Structure 1
Amino acid sequence: MVQSRFAKFFCIPQRIILSIMCFSAIAIAYVMRVCLSVAITEMVARPNITLSSSKNHSICLADPSTPGSGGSHHSGGGEYHWSQEQQGWILSSFYIGYVLTHVPGGVIAEKYGGKWTLSLGILSTAIFTLLTPFAVQHGGHIALIILRILMGLGEGTTFPALSVLLASWVPEKERSKLGSFVFGGGQIGTVAGNLLSGLILNSYSWPVVFYVFGIASVVWFLIFTVLCYSNPGSHPFISTEEREYLETELGQLKRHKHLPPTPWISILTSVPMIALVCAQIGHDWGFYIMVSDLPKYMSEVLQFSIKDNGIYSSLPYLVMWIVSVSTGWLSDFLIVRKFFTITGARKWFTGIAAIFPAIFIVLASYAGCNKLLVVVWFTLAMGFMGTFYPGMKVNPLDLSPNYAGSLMAVTNGIGALTGVAAPVFVGIMTPNSSLTEWRIVFWVTFVIFVITTFVYSIWASGEVQPWNDGNRRSESAELGKIENNNDNEKQIEFHQKQ
């Protein structure tokens, strides 16, 4: 058998290899997404900040040891004179395209499998990343906004395709830990994007950032194309034992050639689904403010150097990743040992991922210019946010394994709208980049976290919804009709004999 012939070359189960490649897919997707947040601090020329103005606007002073510090601090930056509002639109433009391809990506992945839906989206994002320096140098901020929208179009298929792949490969008993591991790639990508961007910018010019990450993403595409497949039934390297195990745990491995229409009305009117969307909005608002604007806060308010900015901006996401992976295992343990139902686990971990970050983000704004304390509060905030992954992030797989891609497309797509709104909101609310202006931003985030978590904690569910098996009910109904017809024919034959 072809499968067993190649399987001997792999000592790791194929579902683990797929999970590792999916983890790295999210990681490089986030690297390409967030590296601009650090690079833009060196692309844009910042105005002089005098000692008096820093007091009036509550802007921290640079350390005396920092080059260029003193009564007047000028961080130099780059040659582009973009306002805070223009920078807000630049950072948010990615999510305009990102939202548009979520639903099409989910539908295509459900119909044809997740492999090419995921990999081609990443490849297109890599190409546009490589073109970023050319676009900026020849078209300015307008060209950059257009290019970022195109990047978003390519990357918008990522989460829907991943949900379809996980639904096709990961058994229910492994869903929390492998799902948390895979989706935790976003934190590692953010860590790598911030940290490596800071190190690169410390030694090279800003275009090098985009060249390095674009090339790395193309390499990922080539490896993923060779190693990964949409489902176990089509994988040439899977062992017979693993294939039979997954067939037992997941049922039919091959995707239906003629999937029934997605039950959109049932999905969009489902109470657990509406609660899921609310939780996604709350999480994404806080998350995108941190991803898009934390490096700007570190640079413009706290006056970190570009190297320190990369280090301290990445630290919270490293802790978030550790928490997301460890609590993924904890969630599965609690569910298997019957300490929590699936619904209870999703609600508790989602609540922890919202309430504690809401508190710590506000506390960071009151820490003033105490840089160590600010970093500690932000790190704790993002760390607790990691429990979001074994919470509501894997919830679409609970509600509807058959339509996990569409559910992820809806939740992640609507949530991504906050990625458009949040950076623009920050740009409008912080024209002077002051602590007092940022404090208002963090209080708004606090309120959004609390309201959306309240909705999820009441109406969320971890149970498979009735509309997930609509096609099976139709098939059962048809079988029932056939059986009834056969019974009627038998009764007629019996009466005729009588």
Structure 2
Amino acid sequence: MEDNRPEWGKGCSRGCILPQRVVVTIFGFLCLICAYTNRVSISHVITKLVVPLNRTLDEGREEACPKDDDATSETTVNKGEYKWSEQMQGFILGSFYIGYLITHLPGGILADKYGAKWVLGICMLISGLSTMCTPLAISWAEEWGLIVIRIIMGGAQGPVFPALTALLSAWVPAKERATLGAFCYSGVTAGTVLSNICSGLMLHYFHWRITFIVFGIVTVAWFLFFILLCTSRPDQHPCIKPSEMAYLNEQIGQRVKGKLPIPWKDMLLSKAMLACIISQIGHDWGYYVMITCLPKYIADVLQFSIRSNGFVTALPFLAMWCCTILSGWLADWLIRKGKMSMDAERKLFTFIAAVGPGIFTVAASYSGCNKALVIASFTIAMLTMGFYYAGQKLTPLDMAPAFAGTIMAITNGLGSLSGMASPPVVGALTPHATMHEWRIVFWLGLIILVVSSIIFAIWGTAEVQSYDPSYTAEKKQ
């Protein structure tokens, strides 16, 4: 790529402390934090909106755990405003994924063909504005207003992962892919942690509307900085250093030129693509059950207070975030030192990220009201899930860098079926929110996670596919 930057751009590059590929990765990380605070906060707010369950025992039902002192006082002060059933709450939590599924593929195609910057930026702006308007939607039409605004938000966030993947494909070399890619995608977990902690605190000290307003404003601020400081490709950035431009041109320059036709037939009929889709669906089932329903389990079964709920549900995701960062570094080290092939590393990490969460969530359901043991089990479960982002999540970048956004759109989009289905299924399986009912939910999750990871281990791959333009070059190397 030629250095076509203006003179002022060549001068400003001398003031840059971090490489621009790191800056772009950081903005991707912050993007996912904003996306998930927008998405996940409803899981806490809904516990404040609805009338608490009547825990009077009926024949055949389990008694919930003893309440915290704070939870008892909160129930007295806050009796909820809306009488939404567990099934309706499940539908509300899952409605986000209706819009999310629809916009994945168009977003991925647009990002691959025309660049990721404006696709990502505009989508996040709409997400932030939708979050800010959520209180108005609830006041306007109660549950149906909330469902409509959640579908709009989901539609706005559908292109986020495909666009981010296209952005990383243009900026991050293969030898740094696990470290920078895992860090970027760890924004999912960091956003969940911040959402849980901040939602719990804001719901305890302020009105529930403040939660949506704060998260929405932060997202709009991210949009403004992102548009000013980032570009879709290295050759478009006015302040990139010549040394970094030369490095990226050598490593990935041939992958960021032109608008190539998408090889739909070869892509969709490959076993590797099928395995990637199934693995994504399996992982997403386990993860979405945790991010959307864990606050309800903590509130309804363990009966923590709202403030404690925020901190307690943040702990497992904080462990997952730490593991994600470390596993990205570990993956690159294993591959760089020749101790494992990239293909073997991706499969091993994906398997760990499925079996660990499945086993330990089931263990949590057998821990009764031993709250410390339950939280420890959930924490270990999410810790092991952190390996996923240095595993299957990177395979769209591995398989076809030129079409990474489109592949991510297909896999992540179909994975969102789990997000759409899991909350209503959980609501149907837990009408009385008892431990026994939740145990069935976690056993189902274990089966889905393990089966999907086995399929990926058999048919999945991290090798460049024949339909990608870089296939011939990779073979020569």
Asked if these proteins are the same fold (TM beyond 0.5), I'd say: yes
Partner of residue 4, structure 2 = none
Task: Report if aligned partners of 1:132, 1:210 keep a CA contact under 8 Å in 2.
Answer: yes
Tell me the SS of whatever aligns to 1:463: coil
Partner deviation per Cα, 1:88-124 (whole Å, 9 max, x = no partner): 0100000110011110000000111000111110000
Partner of residue 301, structure 1 = 301
Partner of residue 20, structure 2 = 14
Structure 1: stretches of 5+ with no match in the other structure: 474-498
1:4 deviation in Å? Answer: 2.1
TM-score of the aligned structures, taking structure 1 as reference length:
0.91
Paired with 2:262 and 2:346, the residues of 1 have a C-alpha distance of: 25
1:400 deviation in Å? Answer: 0.2
Partner of residue 95, structure 1 = 97
Task: Report if aligned partners of 1:3, 1:240 keep a CA contact under 8 Å in 2.
Answer: no
Task: Report if aligned partners of 1:111, 1:255 keep a CA contact under 8 Å in 2.
Answer: no
Paired with 1:167 and 1:77, the residues of 2 have a C-alpha distance of: 49
1:45 deviation in Å? Answer: 1.0
Partner deviation per Cα, 1:444-472 (whole Å, 9 max, x = no partner): 00110111111011111111000112998
Partner of residue 38, structure 1 = 44
Q: How does 1:252-267 map to 2 (within 5 A)?
A: 252=254, 254-256=256-258, 259-267=259-267
Counterpart residue type for residue 277 of structure 1: I
Partner of residue 356, structure 2 = 356
Task: Report if aligned partners of 2:51, 2:83 keep a CA contact under 8 Å in 1.
Answer: yes
Counterpart residue type for residue 254 of structure 2: Q
Counterpart residue type for residue 92 of structure 1: G
Paired with 1:26 and 1:54, the residues of 2 have a C-alpha distance of: 45
CA RMSD of superposed structures (Å)? 1.7
Counterpart residue type for residue 298 of structure 2: M
Q: How does 1:44-443 map to 2 (within 5 A)?
A: 44-50=50-56, 52=57, 56-63=61-68, 66-68=71-73, 76-252=78-254, 254-256=256-258, 259-443=259-443
Paired with 2:420 and 2:392, the residues of 1 have a C-alpha distance of: 22
Tell me the SS of whatever aligns to 1:252: helix
Paired with 1:254 and 1:430, the residues of 2 have a C-alpha distance of: 49
Partner of residue 477, structure 1 = none
Q: How many residue pairs align between the two structures? A: 467
1:67 deviation in Å? Answer: 3.4
1:311 deviation in Å? Answer: 0.3
Task: Report if aligned partners of 1:335, 1:341 keep a CA contact under 8 Å in 2.
Answer: yes
Paired with 1:377 and 1:404, the residues of 2 have a C-alpha distance of: 35
Partner of residue 491, structure 1 = none
Partner of residue 465, structure 1 = 465
Paired with 1:211 and 1:54, the residues of 2 have a C-alpha distance of: 43
Tell me the SS of whatever aligns to 1:101: helix
TM-score of the aligned structures, taking structure 2 as reference length:
0.95
Partner of residue 485, structure 1 = none
Tell me the SS of whatever aligns to 2:15: coil
Percent sequence identity is 44
**In structure 2, do the counterparts of structure 1 residues 77 and 332 end up closer, same or farther at CA, with 3 Å as the change threshold?**
farther
Partner deviation per Cα, 1:40-79 (whole Å, 9 max, x = no partner): 00011113323x459932321213575349xxx7684421
Paired with 1:236 and 1:173, the residues of 2 have a C-alpha distance of: 25
Paired with 2:53 and 2:404, the residues of 1 have a C-alpha distance of: 48
Paired with 1:250 and 1:106, the residues of 2 have a C-alpha distance of: 19
Task: Report if aligned partners of 2:358, 2:445 keep a CA contact under 8 Å in 1.
Answer: yes
Counterpart residue type for residue 121 of structure 2: S
Task: Report if aligned partners of 2:272, 2:459 keep a CA contact under 8 Å in 1.
Answer: yes
Task: Report if aligned partners of 1:46, 1:74 keep a CA contact under 8 Å in 2.
Answer: no
Paired with 1:318 and 1:220, the residues of 2 have a C-alpha distance of: 22
Paired with 1:457 and 1:363, the residues of 2 have a C-alpha distance of: 25
Tell me the SS of whatever aligns to 1:469: coil
Paired with 1:301 and 1:126, the residues of 2 have a C-alpha distance of: 32
Q: How does 1:442-457 map to 2 (within 5 A)?
A: 442-457=442-457
Counterpart residue type for residue 33 of structure 2: A
**In structure 2, do the counterparts of structure 1 residues 393 and 204 end up closer, same or farther at CA, with 3 Å as the change threshold?**
same
Task: Report if aligned partners of 1:279, 1:455 keep a CA contact under 8 Å in 2.
Answer: yes
1:206 deviation in Å? Answer: 0.5
Paired with 2:155 and 2:457, the residues of 1 have a C-alpha distance of: 32
Partner of residue 3, structure 2 = none
Task: Report if aligned partners of 1:58, 1:436 keep a CA contact under 8 Å in 2.
Answer: no
Question: Is 1:26 the counterpart of 2:28 in the alignment?
Answer: no
Paired with 2:67 and 2:13, the residues of 1 have a C-alpha distance of: 58
Paired with 1:94 and 1:433, the residues of 2 have a C-alpha distance of: 22
Counterpart residue type for residue 38 of structure 1: H
1:344 deviation in Å? Answer: 0.3
1:143 deviation in Å? Answer: 0.9
Alignment equivalent of 2:10, drawn from 4, 18, 41: 4
**In structure 2, do the counterparts of structure 1 residues 77 and 408 end up closer, same or farther at CA, with 3 Å as the change threshold?**
farther
Counterpart residue type for residue 240 of structure 1: P
Task: Report if aligned partners of 2:255, 2:402 keep a CA contact under 8 Å in 1.
Answer: no
Paired with 2:241 and 2:119, the residues of 1 have a C-alpha distance of: 25
**In structure 2, do the counterparts of structure 1 residues 219 and 64 end up closer, same or farther at CA, with 3 Å as the change threshold?**
closer
Task: Report if aligned partners of 1:280, 1:415 keep a CA contact under 8 Å in 2.
Answer: yes
Task: Report if aligned partners of 1:62, 1:302 keep a CA contact under 8 Å in 2.
Answer: yes
